[in-house]
Amino acid sequence: MLHTILTGQASIGLVVLFVFCLAVAWATGRAAARSWEPALKAAAYLLLLTVAIRFLHMALYHGTMSDPVEYVIDAAIALVVGLAGWRAAVDRRATTGWQERLVGGRPAYVMPNPSGLTAHVRVADLSGHLRSAFAGPAGTE
């Protein structure tokens, strides 16, 4: 798709499709970050999105679905734009506990992840976090 646009052989519809796909890739990255998905999972979503982009290009503009060069170019563009959206939405300063920034106009408490991958969180630590969360943010009594 990008090759067609850059060589000047693209119709206005193909350019609109390209810009739409960029917006969808950005939104996909932001949605993954806002639902606390890691960047690797966002990348997997973006690679699936690339398959959909290739399908739309084939169905609407008689492009090729299985051209590996076109797929790699489209995937690279989707990954760059989508992961930029992911980075724009993620707050790297967030730590466990009460957050300085309000979420939806309300105070937010971030709990540690007790999954097996982060097994360093002990039950005593989790119970302390739960007590803090139920007590409410400091200075609201």
Query: What is the band of 4 on the pLDDT scale with cuts at 50, 70, 90?
Result: low
For the chain, the straight-line distance linking the first and the last C-alpha, in angstroms and rounded, comes to 58
Tokens representing 90 are: 């993620």
Q: What is the pLDDT of residues 35-93, one digit of tens each?
A: 778 888 889 999 999 998 888 888 887 878 788 888 888 899 899 999 888 888 876 66
Average pLDDT over residues 92-117: 75
Rounded Cα–Cα distance for residues 13 and 23 (Å): 15
Residue 3 pLDDT class (50, 70, 90 cuts) = low
> Over the stretch 109-127, which tens digit does the pLDDT of each residue have?
887 766 665 567 777 888 8
- Is the pLDDT score of 141 beyond 60? no
Q: Which residues pair with 109 in a beta bridge?
A: 98
Asked if 109 contacts 133 with a C-beta cutoff of 8 angstroms, the reply is: yes
